[in-house]
């Protein structure tokens, strides 16, 4: 044999790291933090091992724990003390996310991103104002345009509390434009919008709905979240969000939709984020508990694949565990 091409030459220990194409660092990661206004102590999330809901009084301490691992950014999700049909606690000045944001931004150096949605705040668990017959005979389930005003109020209240970035996740048509208008109207022109631009109606969200107490009381979210079968539609959704002023484009979930991450990365100059969601986290934990997989190894490989597909930012429940290891090795 006369092999002129031997790729294994570049796999020896000395050169292997020099020719590595993709690097994963702690600064690529965003850690979700759940703040619960209904409790005075930390509450473990059974379906997401290692994660807890924390009371508002411990929000700063919780974020400091994240920062110690080398992660620099957090995403805040809130569980309010009460819910109603329109989710009015979502934009209250003394709301759970607003109060946690004020404390965290004043006492830490964390970059604070806030989730802008209504599902955790409505008594029906849907992401907006309902159609009159949504429970019995839904056509679109959520009234689109009436919901836009509420999303603008939520984003504006988060920015007023000190949020560094807002992240609308409801997949409501026009949400980025409505939020950009609301932010600019109150002078928050420098607060960026990270849109969940391509969010699919996925079966991988189950554990999160336990964590944030945001499961629909009836039906599902097929009328406003994307069909998992569709890829071209994602490009259309992203186009619209870019036109409306989105600063960062997110794909959710991440692993089953790496093709979408890659397509958006190749088609747009904007930073691309991907959400490594609760179900992706839970299934690896479950396999590791059975002894079938090495948890740290498969978690790292999963996040590396998301980064390789083109994501600049990764929102993940593995952030702290992996970042601590990445940080200590640098």
3-state helix, strand and coil shares in percent for the chain, rounded to the nearest 5? 45, 20, 40
Q: What are the helix (H) ranges across the chain? A: 59-68, 96-107, 144-161, 175-185, 206-212, 232-244, 258-267, 278-289, 295-309, 319-329
**Is position 317 annotated in a ligand binding site?**
yes
Of 199, 262, 290, 307, which is the active-site residue?
199
Active site residue 307: no
> By CB neighbour count within 10 A (0-12 exposed, 13-18 middle, 19+ buried), where does 233 fall?
middle
**Is position 9 annotated in a ligand binding site?**
no
* Long-range contacts, 9-12 (Cβ 8 Å, 24+): none
Q: Which has the closest alpha carbon to 120: 224, 38, 226?
A: 38
Phi, psi of 45 (to 5 degrees): -95, 105
Provide the CB-side half-sphere exposure for 61 (13 A, CA): 9
Of 83, 153, 252, 307, which is the active-site residue?
252
**Is position 157 annotated in a ligand binding site?**
no
Residue with tokens 């986290």: 281
**Is position 237 annotated in a ligand binding site?**
yes
**CA dist., res. 195 & res. 189, Å (int):** 16
**Is position 221 annotated in a ligand binding site?**
yes
**Is position 278 annotated in a ligand binding site?**
yes
Q: How many CB atoms lie within 10 A of CB 8?
A: 7
Active site residue 252: yes
**Is position 296 annotated in a ligand binding site?**
no
**Is position 267 annotated in a ligand binding site?**
no
**CA dist., res. 32 & res. 34, Å (int):** 7
Phi, psi of 31 (to 5 degrees): -100, 125
Give the residue numbers of the binding site for 5-aminolevulinate: 209, 221, 278, 317
Give the residue numbers of the binding site for Mg(2+): 237
Give the residue numbers of the binding site for Zn(2+): 117, 119, 127
Give the residue numbers of the binding site: 117, 119, 127, 209, 221, 237, 278, 317
Residues with a known catalytic role = 199, 252
């Amino acid at each position: 044999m006369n092999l002129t091409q031997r790729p294994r030459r570049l796999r020896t220990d000395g050169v292997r790291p020099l020719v590595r194409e993709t690097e994963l660092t702690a600064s690529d990661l965003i850690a979700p933090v759940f703040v619960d206004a209904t409790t005075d102590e930390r509450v473990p999330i059974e379906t997401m091992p290692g994660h807890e809901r924390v009371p508002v009084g411990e929000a700063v301490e919780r974020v400091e724990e994240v920062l110690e691992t080398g992660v620099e950014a957090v995403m805040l999700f809130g569980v309010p003390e009460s819910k109603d049909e329109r989710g009015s606690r979502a934009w209250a000045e003394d709301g759970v996310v607003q109060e946690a944001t004020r404390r965290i931004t004043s006492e830490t150096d964390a970059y604070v991103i806030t989730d802008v949605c209504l599902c955790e705040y409505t008594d029906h668990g849907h992401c907006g104002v309902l159609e009159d017959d949504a429970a019995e005979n839904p056509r679109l389930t959520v009234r689109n345009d009436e919901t836009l005003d509420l999303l603008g109020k939520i984003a504006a209240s988060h920015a007023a509390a000190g949020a560094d970035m807002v992240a609308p996740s409801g997949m409501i048509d026009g949400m980025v434009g409505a939020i950009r208008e609301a932010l600019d109207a109150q002078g928050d022109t420098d607060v960026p919008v990270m849109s969940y631009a391509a969010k699919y109606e996925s079966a991988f969200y189950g554990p999160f709905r336990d964590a944030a107490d945001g499961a629909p009381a009836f039906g599902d979210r097929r009328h406003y979240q994307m069909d998992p079968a569709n890829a071209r539609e994602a490009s259309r959704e992203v186009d619209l969000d870019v036109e409306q002023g989105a600063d960062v484009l997110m794909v959710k979930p991440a692993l089953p939709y790496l093709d979408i991450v890659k397509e958006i990365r190749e088609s747009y100059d904007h930073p691309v984020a991907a959400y490594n969601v609760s179900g992706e986290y839970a299934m690896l934990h479950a396999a590791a508990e059975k002894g079938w997989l090495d948890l740290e190894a498969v978690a790292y490989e999963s996040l590396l694949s998301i980064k390789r597909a083109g994501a600049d930012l990764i929102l993940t429940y593995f952030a702290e565990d992996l970042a601590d290891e990445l940080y200590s090795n640098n």
